[in-house]
Every structure is written in C-alpha cells, then in structure tokens.
Amino acid sequence: MASLTVPAEVPSVAEDCEQLRSAFKGWGTNEKLIISILAHRNAAQRKLIRQTYAETFGEDLLKELDRELTHDFEKLVVVWTLDPAERDAYLAKEATKRWTKSNFVLVEIACTRSPKELVLAREAYHARNKKSLEEDVAYHTTGDHRKLLVPLVSSYRYGGDEVDLRLAKAESKVLHEKISDKAYSDDEVIRILATRSKAQLNATLNHYKDEYGEDILKQLEDEDEFVALLRATIKGLVYPEHYFVEVLRDAINRRGTEEDHLTRVIATRAEVDLKTIANEYQKRDSVPLGRAIAKDTGGDYENMLVALLGQEEE
C-alpha cells in the first residue's frame, strides 16, 4: 500500500508552478512550500508540473531545485520529482558508475519492479545515456556477478498469477541440488531466477521449503559476496517488503545514517508499498519507521521523508 497522500482538491498545475516559482525567489528558499507541493503530488501530477513550469518560465524545474536546495534534501526532492522510469534509469546509472560487489541497487531495480516497469526503466536509460542498461551492466561488472546481473536487468518476465506446480516441483529439485553442492552460479540457478515469473518462483520456493524442510534463504548464508547477491535477488523477487525493511534497517541503524539508501527506498516506494514496508519495519524493530527516521535525520530532509511517509501530523 502506498504512503503518498494527495489532497482531495489539488490546486491547478498553473498555481502549483507559480507557488514553486515564488519559493525560489526573494530572500532564501521556501523549503516548506516546496515540500507542501511536491511531497503531495503523484507521478502524473509531478510530470505535468515539470512540463508546465518549463513552458511558463523557460526553466527546467529539476535544475531550479538543484540550484536552490542542498545536500540530502536536494537529492531527495530531485529524485522524487523524476518520473519513476527516469528515476530508475538515474539510479541504475549511478549504480553502474560506482559499482561494487556489495551494491545491490541493480538487483533492486531488476527484481522489485514489475515487468513493464523494468522495460520502461530500460527505455529511459537508453534515452538518457544513449546506450543500453545491459551494455553498461556488462561493462562494469565481472565474473559471476555479471553472469547474474545481465540477464536480471534484461528480463521480461510473465507478470500474471498462473503457475505450473509440476514445474515448481522440478525446479525446486534443481535449485536444491545446485545449492547443496554450493554451485551457486550454475547456469540453471541463474536461468530460473532470471526468467521465471514472480508467481512461479514463489510456488517453486514454497515447494522447496515443503520438500526439503528449510527455506532456501537459510541455505544461502555463506559469507560470500555472490551468495549475498543471490539472497538479495530472491528477496527482491519474492519478498520485496522484507528486502526493503532490511535496506532501511541497515541505512538507519548503522553508525551514521546511510542517506543514499534511505532516500532511494522512500522515493521509489512512496507510490507503491511504503505503508506496507513501514508496517513490516515496525513489526521487526518495534519502532515506527517515521520515528526512526526522525531520530536519525533532521531539518528539511527529515520533513520531506516524513511527508512521503504520510506521517506529517504524527
């Protein structure tokens, strides 16, 4: 369930643009006004605001935000204001430029988005960078990581709910054999994870647990960077809320908040399932996500995060 709150009566797009323009002018920037508008508009509304702002004032709204705002608050507002596919393309580019074997952003985009959303992200990446996402991922990664990541970002899975239970039984056996042998990067493991629908994978992993008495993730606990990538892949595909809770816990609970991870999760999930993620977070840590964020952040950055959580009045 999404956390984004949009007013029942939204001002006209022209009025939103005029208000944003006024927030940039005069002595200092009116950050509160910017939050009150952009944190309460959906993707279609934000896209129209960007178009109208450019037509009315001859300025790119994103460049204005970049000029007028600073630090983590600036990054959050800009990333949030992007169209979702454009945002994923931006995040993927940043991930490939700074890729390390512990960077799971590419897996996150490939595995937690719907098949259509991933296609749109690839198209946006192509338009922004004049090259394909697959091309950059293949260039910047190596070895087993490349072997898994390229097919993941290239995938166009079936998005429906139909499953083949006989196939689930057969492929759970394949996965069990390969993982028991620690053949984590075997072609069959990667084929199953990179091509099967999320519903089919869920059926396969349920059969795995029933047949072999243990969740597949329990058998993927080796202290190995590729195994960690496999775990993130499975969680992103089958248990996305749990995946995002882990990212948030790591971002908030480590010594010094990891703002990039916090920004990414809040900005990408507010219109999707952030309320569900927040509920799971509270079950896990017995602390409301909004309170945890408020404890570890401050100022306009905190205000924007809490607004996107839909908890401004709490």
Q: Mean pLDDT over residues 134-162, rounded?
A: 96
Whether 89 shows a pLDDT value over 90: the answer reads yes
Which tens digit of pLDDT belongs to each residue from 47-56? 999 999 999 9
Q: Could you tell me which residues come within 8 angstroms of residue 294 by beta carbon, excluding any fewer than 6 positions away?
A: 302, 306
The whole-angstrom separation of Cα 266 and Cα 242 is 14
**pLDDT band, very low/low/confident/very high, at 256 (cuts 50, 70, 90):** low
Fold (topology level) of 13-81: Annexin V; domain 1 (1.10.220)
Alpha helices for 141-238 (secondary structure H): 143-154, 165-180, 187-195, 198-212, 225-238
288 burial type by CB count under 10 A (0-12 exposed, 13-18 middle, 19+ buried):
middle
Annotated binding-site positions for Ca(2+): 24, 26, 28, 68, 252, 254, 256, 294, 296-297, 302
Annotated binding-site positions: 24, 26, 28, 68, 252, 254, 256, 294, 296-297, 302
Helix/strand/coil (H, E, C) string of the chain?
CCCCCCCCCCCCHHHHHHHHHHHHCCCCCCHHHHHHHHCCCCHHHHHHHHHHHHHHHCCCHHHHHHHHCCHHHHHHHHHHHCCHHHHHHHHHHHHHHCCCCCCCHHHHHHHHCCHHHHHHHHHHHHHHHCCCHHHHHHHHCCHHHHHHHHHHHHCCCCCCCCCCHHHHHHHHHHHHHHHHCCCCCCHHHHHHHHHCCHHHHHHHHHHHHHHHCCCHHHHCCCCCHHHHHHHHHHHHHHCHHHHHHHHHHHHHHCCCCCHHHHHHHHHHHCCCCHHHHHHHHHHHHCCCHHHHHHHHCCHHHHHHHHHHCCCCCC
Q: Mean pLDDT over residues 62-89, rounded?
A: 96
* Every domain of the chain and the residues it spans: 13-81
The whole-angstrom separation of Cα 38 and Cα 49 is 9
Residue entry with tokens 């590419």:
106
| Mean confidence (pLDDT) of the chain | 94
Q: How many Cβ atoms are within 10 Å of 41's Cβ, its own excluded?
A: 21
Per-residue pLDDT, 258: 85
Which tens digit of pLDDT belongs to each residue from 165-196? 999 999 999 999 999 999 999 999 999 999 99
Contact between 185 and 220 under an 8 Å Cβ cutoff? The reply is no
Q: Could you tell me which residues come within 8 angstroms of residue 270 by beta carbon, excluding any fewer than 6 positions away?
A: 2, 3, 4, 80, 308, 309
Which tens digit of pLDDT belongs to each residue from 210-220? 999 999 999 99
Whether 271 shows a pLDDT value over 90: the answer reads yes
Q: Could you tell me which residues come within 8 angstroms of residue 305 by beta carbon, excluding any fewer than 6 positions away?
A: 76, 262, 266, 293, 297
Q: What is the DSSP letter of 219?
A: G
Which tens digit of pLDDT belongs to each residue from 123-145? 999 999 999 999 999 999 999 99
Per-residue pLDDT, 115: 97
